[in-house]
Amino acid sequence: MTEVFMNGVPIFLLIFCRVTAFFVVSPVFSHKTVPSIFKIGLGFFISVFIFMMHADNQVMVLDIQYVLLIIREVLIGLMMGFIVYLFFALMHTAGGIIDMQIGFAMANIIDPVSGTSVPLLGNFKYLLMLVCFLMMNGHHYLLSGLMDSYQWIPIENNWFSKMADGSIAEFITNSVVLSIIIGIQIAVPIMVAMFITDVGLGFLAKTAPQFNVFVIGFPVKIMLGLLLIILMLPGMSLIFEKVFSIMFNTLEQFFGVVGGPPA
């Protein structure tokens, strides 16, 4: 019994490191409003389930290399959470662009969760996306993906060799670029509308110089921007659905880059 315990504890600790590292970064579970004791307890029970499913007949030796294994599992968990976070953060990118076009850039607010200054509309879209994600039980899919990661990336994996050949760095770079492009695409309708508005105000300034275009244009752009946002709200669910699909596909591609097809 003692031998079984001594063989199982090191493997369980590696699993626990990956799970808790994922919770530190992933958008749903990393919020300050989620109690730390809940994160630790949830991570513990998920680690127990994963241990029972994927840690049979494995032996781990406690030596100096075990520290490297812990670092490897923590990095895998952090990268998985970071990929998920990227596709939530793109709403801040889109909101920041929209705020700049409408004129809300000077009214950035302090996000009590992250403690940083965030765009007004970006924070609104981020919270709306988070609510839609919870309504579709997306957090359950995240937990399922975390547990299935051991089919793609088992405890014995080639993480450091993939880091050495640049595969992981290239994939993360492409994921960041993809998230930025999606954020810009979401903001494009407002950008085009504001550009047309600026062109119209420019013609007004030339044809009627007595009008103060700056005084008139500022409230006009705000009202037009808010109206367009209200008109776009019913279709935001389709946008969120597409973003979630891309997010889970990217996470699956990350599993393939690090560990290859599931065993």
**Model pLDDT, residue 189:** 87
**Model pLDDT, residue 117:** 66
**Model pLDDT, residue 5:** 57
d(CA 94, CA 191): 10
pTM of the model: 0.84
Radius of gyration of the chain from Cα atoms?
Answer: 23
**Model pLDDT, residue 239:** 87
d(CA 116, CA 133): 23
Domain boundaries, the chain: 2-256
- Residues (pLDDT < 50) of the chain are none
**Model pLDDT, residue 3:** 56
**Model pLDDT, residue 4:** 55
Tell me how far the alpha carbon of residue 75 is from its chain's centroid. 16
**Model pLDDT, residue 142:** 86
